[in-house]
């Protein structure tokens, strides 16, 4: 369990209920988490912390969508990234792992473990 605490996860989600519930779930599973409600808040965390994994919504009102994906791909290539979305189509080219909403927390935990502990 202590191995998980060495990794810091950033959750970026504009829906409060999803962001805070996912944070609480992952903390109970032993992960250290930070949260942001948009891409701008996420950039602040990325600059101030050693983030290992970003779990982020695709569509957000402030700095989300294609530009957010392009930003992550260009400036966070050293980070593991998981995109969550209820809006993307499977043929949309995303260079990261995508989990479609609604997702099961056990599913996302399995994806996190696979990304952090291959």
Residue 49's SS3 state is: coil
pLDDT (0 to 100) of residue 92: 61
43 Cβ partners below 8 Å, 6+ apart? 63, 71
Cα 30-36-38 angle, rounded to 5 deg: 145
pLDDT tens per residue across span 69-114: 989 999 999 999 999 988 776 566 789 999 988 889 999 999 999 9
The neighbouring-strand residues paired with 33 are 9
In the chain, what are the domain boundaries?
Answer: 2-116
CATH number for the segment(s) 2-116: 3.40.50.2300
What is the mean pLDDT of the segment spanning 40-61?
94
Q: Would the pLDDT of 59 be above 90?
A: no
Q: Are 28 and 4 in contact (CB under 8 A)?
A: no
pLDDT (0 to 100) of residue 105: 92
Residue 98's SS3 state is: strand
Enter the pTM of the model.
0.90
């Amino acid at each position: 369990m202590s191995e998980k605490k060495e990794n810091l996860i950033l959750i970026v989600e504009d829906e409060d209920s999803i962001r805070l519930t996912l944070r609480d779930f992952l903390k109970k599973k032993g992960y250290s988490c930070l949260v942001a409600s948009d891409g701008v808040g996420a950039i602040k965390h990325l600059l101030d912390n050693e983030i290992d994994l970003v779990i982020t919504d695709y569509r957000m009102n402030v700095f989300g969508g294609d530009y957010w994906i392009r930003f992550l791909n260009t400036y966070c290539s050293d980070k593991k990234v998981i995109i969550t979305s209820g809006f993307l189509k499977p043929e949309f080219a995303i260079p990261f792992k995508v989990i479609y909403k609604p997702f099961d927390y056990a599913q996302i935990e399995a994806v996190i473990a696979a990304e952090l502990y291959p």
